[in-house]
């Protein structure tokens, strides 16, 4: 029944589908055993199929018990029948006889084919799962195979992956034959098939792209601590260096911005802010709100919240358009952030009274600086603030000026956010939950996997 051509076909199947030849041979043995029992012997009979992996030759062996009184011919032989085969057989022995494979009729062959096909499908699903489960949370290259209004099919090698509309970068237009990078968000072993779920909106895609573009990130010299993203619009990444002589931001930006530009190009022009991570939450939060200037940060460890004070002319920049800059900073740092301008803080009496923690920390910071460099540094920090933070007509008619606890260098950002003038829109704008896709509504209206399955079945 089988031949060398059959073995060659199995080798081709292994090469194209990743299904091991031994797995298919085991599946064929099992299918033939079940079919033989169903058509020519009882379900409890002892049948063994042997297939030579080199020549493809098939041999079938059936085992029956030698009994004094035969009750079931499918499982038993009489002593006379057994001794006709070999006189040495006695009651209680097992007789193994070889069955000619040609005994398989058309019905048995069809059943064997169906069982084998089912086993191959199961093996293929297992092979796909085992191959791609190791690629979860990684980037793979693909080619756009088909573009539909609600999804795109991406050829990723041995199979296709479905890229739903809500996992595509907003505003990006994909075309047939286009080479793209996709992020493997999950690999699910389902009853019908193995689903390889890919995305171009995950924050992990930004992280992996920088690993590919920046050797220092790939080898661990520069670490990407956190990533926050609103796909198609803006991302923020926090980086740090394990070596003092390595500039983490400069490494990610690259000479002339080449490295970050390559990432931006892959993300369809998405803006990227690169800030330096710090274990000090005050410093980290200040950096995360880049490109805006931060004058003071007060943190509350208990509820992991922070009050940030910025100059009046920087409030719109700190908040960002539709609250985007603040929202991304919240996701990046994991801290709840409340942003107020200097004027708002003064009007509400926040951190600007005589015994405030702000003043104490400011004084402590300034006293750490020794002459002769103290005065120039203090002037450099305080002078720009005087224009915005001057309180007059206090009860004692004294004029007081205030500054931040620590001067922070503006972190390098790939692009600056335009000022957002309408402050009324800021309230609750950077609530992280407001930006989430409603996957349930999408799936209720349309299930792209049905059309995806039909496409690949064809």
Evaluate if residue 47 carries a pLDDT over 90: no
Distance of CA 7 to the CA centre of its chain: 39
Instruction: Find the helix or strand (DSSP H, E) in which 229 lies.
Output: strand 222-230
Q: Determine the average pLDDT of the residues in 236-255.
A: 94
Is the distance from CB of 317 to CB of 417 less than 8 angstroms?
Answer: yes
| 301 CB burial (10 A radius; 0-12, 13-18, 19+) | exposed
83-95 b/e (C-beta count within 10 Å ≥ 16 → b): eeeeeebeeeeeb
pLDDT of residue 393: 34
Asked whether residue 228 carries a pLDDT value surpassing 80, the answer given is yes
- Supply the DSSP symbol for 100: P
The answer to whether 448 and 151 have CB atoms below 8 angstroms apart is yes
The residue ranking higher by pLDDT, 315 or 384, is 315
- Mean pLDDT for the stretch of residues 244-256: 94
Among the listed residues 198, 124, 120, the one whose alpha carbon sits nearest the alpha carbon of residue 155:
198
**Phi and psi angles of residue 421, each rounded to the nearest 5 degrees, phi first:** -80, -30
CB crowding 309-342: b at 16 or more within 10 Å, else e: bbbeebbbbbbbbbbbbbbbbbbbbebebebbbb
- Look at 4-18, 49-63, 184-198, 333-347 and tell me which has the smallest mean pLDDT: 4-18
Question: Residue 263 pLDDT more than 60?
Answer: yes
> Would you give the DSSP letter of residue 334?
-
Phi/psi at 411 (nearest 5 deg)? Answer: -75, 150
Average pLDDT over residues 357-378: 41
User: Mean pLDDT throughout 49-72?
Assistant: 84
Confidence grade of residue 264 (pLDDT, cut at 50, 70, 90): very high
Instruction: For residue 149, give the 3-state DSSP assignment.
Output: coil
Q: Tell me, what's the pLDDT at 457?
A: 56
Higher pLDDT, 287 or 370: 287
Mean residue pLDDT across the chain: 77
Q: Tell me what pLDDT residue 43 has.
A: 73
Say what the pLDDT of residue 423 is: 42
Q: Which of 25-29, 260-264, 378-382 shows the lowest mean pLDDT across its residues?
A: 378-382
In degrees rounded to 5, what are phi and psi of residue 134?
A: -75, -15
Per-residue model confidence as pLDDT tens digits over 401-438:
333 333 334 344 334 344 334 444 444 444 444 433 34
Mean pLDDT of 262-281: 95
User: Is the N-terminal amide bond of 313 cis, ω within 30° of 0?
Assistant: no
Give the residue from 40, 39, 24, 13 showing the smallest Cα distance to 97. Answer: 40
Crossing angle of the two packed helices 106-133 and 21-40, in degrees rounded to 10: 150
- Predicted TM-score of the model (pTM): 0.63
Question: Is there a cis peptide before residue 25, judged by omega within 30 degrees of 0?
Answer: no
pLDDT tens for each residue of 326-358: 999 999 999 999 999 999 988 887 754 434 555
> What pLDDT shows up at residue 431?
47
């Amino acid at each position: 029944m089988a031949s060398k051509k059959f073995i060659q076909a199995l080798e081709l199947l292994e090469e194209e589908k990743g299904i091991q030849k031994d797995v298919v041979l085991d599946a064929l043995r099992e299918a033939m055993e079940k079919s033989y029992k169903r058509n020519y012997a009882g379900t409890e009979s002892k049948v063994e199929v042997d297939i030579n992996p080199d020549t493809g030759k098939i041999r079938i062996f059936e085992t029956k018990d030698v009994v004094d009184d035969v009750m079931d011919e499918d499982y038993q032989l009489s002593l006379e029948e057994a001794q006709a085969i070999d006189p040495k057989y006695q009651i209680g022995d097992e007789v193994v006889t070889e069955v000619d494979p040609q005994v398989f009729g058309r019905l048995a062959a069809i059943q064997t084919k169906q069982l084998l096909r089912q086993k191959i499908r199961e093996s293929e699903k297992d092979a796909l799962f085992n191959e791609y489960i190791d690629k979860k949370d990684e980037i793979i290259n693909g080619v756009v195979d088909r573009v539909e209004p609600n999804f795109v099919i991406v050829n990723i090698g041995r199979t296709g992956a479905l890229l739903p509309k809500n996992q595509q970068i907003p505003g990006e237009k994909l075309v047939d034959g286009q080479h793209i990078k996709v992020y493997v968000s999950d690999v699910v072993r389902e009853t019908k098939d193995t689903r390889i779920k890919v995305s171009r909106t995950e924050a992990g895609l930004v992280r992996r792209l920088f690993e590919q573009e920046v050797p220092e990130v790939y080898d661990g010299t520069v670490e990407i601590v956190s990533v926050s993203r609103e796909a198609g619009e803006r991302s923020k990444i926090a980086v740090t260096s394990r070596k003092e002589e390595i500039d983490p931001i400069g490494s990610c930006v690259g000479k002339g911005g080449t490295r970050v530009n390559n990432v931006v190009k892959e993300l369809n022009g998405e803006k990227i802010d690169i800030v330096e991570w710090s274990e000090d939450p005050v410093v980290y939060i200040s950096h995360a709100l880049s490109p805006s200037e931060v004058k003071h940060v007060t943190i509350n460890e208990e509820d992991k919240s922070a009050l940030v004070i910025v100059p009046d002319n920087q409030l719109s920049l700190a908040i960002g358009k539709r609250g985007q800059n603040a929202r991304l900073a919240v996701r990046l740092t994991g801290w709840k952030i409340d942003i107020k301008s200097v004027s708002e803080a003064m009007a509400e009496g926040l951190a600007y009274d005589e015994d405030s923690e702000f003043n104490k920390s400011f004084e402590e910071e300034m006293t750490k600086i020794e002459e002769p460099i103290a005065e120039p540094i203090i002037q450099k920090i305080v002078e720009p603030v005087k224009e915005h933070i001057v309180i007059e007509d206090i009860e004692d008619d004294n004029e007081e000026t205030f500054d931040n606890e620590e001067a922070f260098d503006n972190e390098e950002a790939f692009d600056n956010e335009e000022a957002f003038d309408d402050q009324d829109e800021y309230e609750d704008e950077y609530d992280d939950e407001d930006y989430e896709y409603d996957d349930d509504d999408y799936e209720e209206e349309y299930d792209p996997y049905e059309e995806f399955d039909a496409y690949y079945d064809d």
